Amino acid sequence: MDRPPTRIKTDDAGWVITMTPEMAQVAGVAEGSLVIFHFKDGAVAAEILPPPTDELRAEVRGVADEFADAFAEMKRRGD
């Protein structure tokens, strides 16, 4: 695993985990995909998200750069 599991909501029992190459192969999905686990009513549900495209990564970087000052101010104020 590239990183430890990351909670996605504090009020929810859910985690986002980068799939290992072995997991991706067994699931028949692209390497770098993410699996989201949710625990609800005594059951486990999972959803697989594909890795982001280069186009999406570039778009997110552009937005982050464009609004860098605003994001810094929100962080300074405590979001």
Asked whether the predicted pLDDT for residue 65 surpasses 50, the reply is yes
pLDDT tens per residue across span 17-51: 889 999 999 999 999 999 988 887 889 899 999 99
The pTM (predicted TM-score) of the whole model is 0.62
How many angstroms separate the first and last alpha carbons of the chain? 29
Average pLDDT, the chain: 86
Query: How far apart are alpha carbons 24 and 31 in whole angstroms?
Result: 6
Residue ranges of the alpha helices (H) in the chain?
21-27, 54-66, 68-77
